[in-house]
Amino acid sequence: MKNLITTLRNIFKIEDLRSRILNTLGFLVIYRLGAHIVLPGVDPSGLANLQAQSEGGILGLIDMFAGGAFSQASIFALGIMPYISASIVVQLLGIAVPFFQKLQKEGESGRKKMNQITRWLTVLVTLGQAPGYIVNLKAQSPGAILMDGTGFWFTSILILTAGTLFVMWLGERITEKGIGNGISLIIMIGIIARLPQSLRDEFMSRLNEQGGGLVIFLVEIVALFAVVASVILLVQGTRRIPVQFAKKIVGNKQYGGVRQYIPLKVNAAGVMPIIFAQAIMFIPATIAQFFLNLHRGKVFAGTFTDFTSFGYNITFCNPDYSVYLFLYSHFCESKSDGRRYEKEWRIYSRC
């Protein structure tokens, strides 16, 4: 504990690092404040149905990434997800389209062009998702719409698009003027935004007569801490691939013959493959929700919405989760670290 306090003091003694940390905190506070600003013309007290819809499925996943902004009809309701979708599309185009392959090989200038294309594609994706969000809002919580008409549609689509672009801008500013990985921090702060409330609810539930008491709550906290520590070890872990170079004698001196290591990350793909796999699993369940009111569609809907049913467990939703996870992990790892490992191999090979 003493070493931790000393480390934190030393961090804030460095002016540049202190400035970056404060900038990051400031940008994150702005993002969280914007997540609570409701769209003009929407009554926040009438969003109960929308919030209930966002408790599970793919909409719950989106709401989690948005830090609750999706279920609150906030100006940041779409969050950073359109930018992530656009980034995935651009990465896939880099595999199939020669033009994007050429940009990837142009170095820094090519990267800037691809970033600009990703931004414009984010605008198009947001303009496509914003009307769908408003249609869903009107269907789930019609009483929350205080004014309806062309003006409401135009302003809402414009604000949702501008909100997503502003969140994207905050992520880029965190990367440039903060501690880095701005988009990842935006996603993280959205996920942990509900942590204090969740801990409070869990604590209150354990104090009930059948909740198990304070001891069970402390056991859960210890288990949660152990899980977090294990994840950190997994993320920081590397596989050291040994490389043995041949000896070379020049005159009376011997060169080479040393043993080097190529550090490969154990979990180079991170958490994104799990997120993508879950999103694919939730798509059938989300579509099935539209068939619940149809007599002939109840069997189909029950198959995909009841996660404990026999039908769900023999369909592609559950068994192929590991397949999705493997495919996305392979794609993310090969795209994110392939070039870096190739560069390291070339450096080691010249030693």
Supply the pLDDT for residue 280: 64
Does residue 327 or residue 74 have the better pLDDT? 74
Provide the percentage of residues in the chain whose pLDDT is more than 90. 12
Tokens matching residue 90? 């651009």
Do residues 27 and 173 touch, judged by C-beta distance below 8 A?
A: yes
Residue 327: pLDDT band by 50, 70, 90 thresholds? low
Where do the domains of the chain lie?
Answer: 2-207, 237-351
Say whether pLDDT at 341 is over 50.
no
| Strand locations in 28-164 (E) | none
The C-alpha atoms of residue 278 and residue 307 are separated, in whole angstroms, by 13
Residue 340 has pLDDT above 70, yes or no: no
- The total of other beta-carbon atoms located within 10 Å of residue 128's CB is 11
**pTM attached to this predicted model:** 0.72
What confidence score (pLDDT) does residue 198 get?
Answer: 82
Q: Which residue has the higher pLDDT, 181 or 288?
A: 181
- Region 5-34: mean pLDDT is 85
| pLDDT higher than 50, residue 349 | no
Per-residue pLDDT for 345 more than 50? no
Inform me whether the pLDDT recorded for 53 exceeds 70.
yes
- pLDDT surpassing 50 at residue 206: yes
295 pLDDT exceeds 50?
no
Taking residues 257-281, report their average pLDDT: 69
Q: How confident is the model at residue 350 (pLDDT cuts 50, 70, 90)?
A: very low
Buried b (16+ CB within 10 A) or exposed e, 219-252: eeeeeeeeeeeeeeeeeeeeeeeeeeeeeeeeee
| Assigned CATH for 2-207 | 1.10.3370.10
Please tell me the predicted confidence (pLDDT) of residue 222.
Answer: 92
The structure tokens listed for 347 are 């450096």
Element (H, E) at 49: helix 48-53
